[in-house]
Amino acid sequence: MYELPDITWVVASALAEDLGVLPSRFTGDGEPGLDILDRDVTSSSVTGLDARYTGVIVAREACVVAGLPVAAAVFERLSAAAGLFEPVDAFPLVAEGTAVPAGTPVMEVDGLACAVLAGERTALDFLMVLSGIATRTRTWVEAAGDRLTVVDTRKTLPGLRELSKYAVRVGGARNHRMGLYDMVLIKDNHLRGVSIASAVARARAVHPGLVVEVEADTQAQAVEAVDAGADIVLLDNMDDEELARVVSVCRARAAAAGRAVALEASGGIGIERLRALAVAGVDRVSSSDLTLAPPVDFGLDER
């Protein structure tokens, strides 16, 4: 249902970090071997190689579950790196994006105990972070209602950009640009000695196929961006009264020019302002509150 990005490297890197080896051990580039399980010095010394473990991953808090395919991939990659004839089986018990109460089992895990325990923390960490983002996002989407689109920002943990934005989609919101390469966003730091009209024209000339957005701190800048033909105008750090006024002016200006423009609010916006922004006529709101959400607690319990 939700399109998962390529997680090969991020999963390999996370496992390598915990087990103290190179990520290539988990990307299929090296020879598999049981020695990888010895890197978990506790489990390998305490748990016999033939011992089995069957357990369930449980949500310790109410949340929107995100990251189940990533958690399953952790055990899959670890099993492959160890060359296990019988890989760890990680079976989801709920659908990705499901809102669950505290105490809900979300995944069953079965396999060699040393392999399950070696991958436990990494799998749980992915679930914790991604479910935290999806849960926070869902609260924003529900508070925004049908008249206001919620989007994320580029404020993500380094290395987790694509997965963080995946979790935003699971939570029901939309992604802003993925990075510096897929959309033009002209901010105040880009306007040093360059007018908004000139900046938009230059961006159109060099990247004719990309959406162009302009950040505006004032009504005058917003109007200039509309007149320049920006696809989106980001109204930054404006209070509700100012936003309503600027939105009205920009709508009239765009209509007079026979063009459409999307108006986005951002900067210091909390969830409590969403209804007011919808009334003001803003099309969408962007916030780093989504991708910087606190993790949700998960645990692995033996059955």
Q: Which of 18, 76, 152, 236 is catalytic?
A: 236
Asked whether residue 148 is domain-assigned, the answer is no
Asked whether residue 209 is domain-assigned, the answer is yes
Asked if 298 and 257 sit in the same domain, the reply is no
Q: How many domains does the chain have?
A: 2
Question: Of 54, 46, 56, 43, which is closest to residue 82 (Cα–Cα)?
Answer: 43
- State residue 303's pLDDT score: 87
Q: Which of 155, 161, 251, 275 is catalytic?
A: 155
- Annotated active-site residue 155? The verdict is yes
Q: Which residues pair with 286 in a beta bridge?
A: 151
Question: What is the span of the domain harbouring residue 222?
Answer: 183-286
Asked if 22 and 74 sit in the same domain, the reply is yes
Asked whether residue 192 is domain-assigned, the answer is yes
The CATH number covering residue 255 comes to 3.20.20.70
- State residue 54's pLDDT score: 97
Question: Of 149, 104, 110, which is closest to residue 281 (Cα–Cα)?
Answer: 149
With 0-12 / 13-18 / 19 or more C-beta atoms within 10 angstroms meaning exposed / middle / buried, residue 39 is middle
Asked if 22 and 60 sit in the same domain, the reply is yes
- State residue 1's pLDDT score: 75
Backbone φ and ψ for 104, nearest 5 degrees, come out as -85, 125
Asked if 128 and 203 sit in the same domain, the reply is no
The CATH number covering residue 28 comes to 3.90.1170.20
Residue 177's identity, in one-letter code, is R
Asked if 70 and 112 sit in the same domain, the reply is yes
Backbone φ and ψ for 9, nearest 5 degrees, come out as -75, -40
Asked whether residue 229 is domain-assigned, the answer is yes
Q: Where are the alpha helices (DSSP H) in the chain?
A: 8-19, 35-38, 41-46, 68-82, 113-144, 161-171, 196-206, 219-228, 240-257, 274-280
Q: What are the structure tokens assigned to 97, written together?
A: 């994006």
Asked if 118 and 53 sit in the same domain, the reply is yes
Asked whether residue 131 is domain-assigned, the answer is yes
Q: Which of 161, 174, 187, 202 is catalytic?
A: 187
- Annotated active-site residue 289? The verdict is no
Residue 195: strand, helix, or coil: coil
Asked if 18 and 55 sit in the same domain, the reply is yes
**Residue 50 above 90 pLDDT?**
no
Q: What are 144-191's pLDDT values in tens digits?
A: 999 999 999 999 999 999 999 999 999 999 999 999 999 999 999 999
Q: What are 95-136's pLDDT values in tens digits?
A: 999 999 999 999 999 999 999 999 999 999 999 999 999 999
Is the pTM above the cut of 0.85? yes
Q: What are the structure tokens assigned to 191, written together?
A: 């306007």
Q: Which of 215, 224, 264, 289 is catalytic?
A: 215
Q: Which of 38, 61, 108, 121 is catalytic?
A: 121
Asked if 136 and 191 sit in the same domain, the reply is no
Question: Of 140, 72, 65, which is closest to residue 96 (Cα–Cα)?
Answer: 65
Asked if 120 and 197 sit in the same domain, the reply is no
Asked whether residue 199 is domain-assigned, the answer is yes
At 233, the pLDDT band (50, 70, 90 cuts) reads: very high
Q: What is the mean pLDDT of residues 195-199?
A: 97
Asked whether residue 175 is domain-assigned, the answer is no
- State residue 265's pLDDT score: 97
Question: Of 6, 15, 4, which is closest to residue 121 (Cα–Cα)?
Answer: 15
Asked if 89 and 193 sit in the same domain, the reply is no
Asked if 53 and 127 sit in the same domain, the reply is yes
- Annotated active-site residue 165? The verdict is no
- Annotated active-site residue 192? The verdict is no
184 secondary structure, DSSP code:
E
Asked if 137 and 199 sit in the same domain, the reply is no
Identify whether the C-beta of residue 88 lies closer than 8 Å to the C-beta of residue 109: yes
What is the distance between the alpha carbons of residues 44 and 41, in angstroms, rounded to a whole number?
Answer: 5
Asked whether residue 119 is domain-assigned, the answer is yes
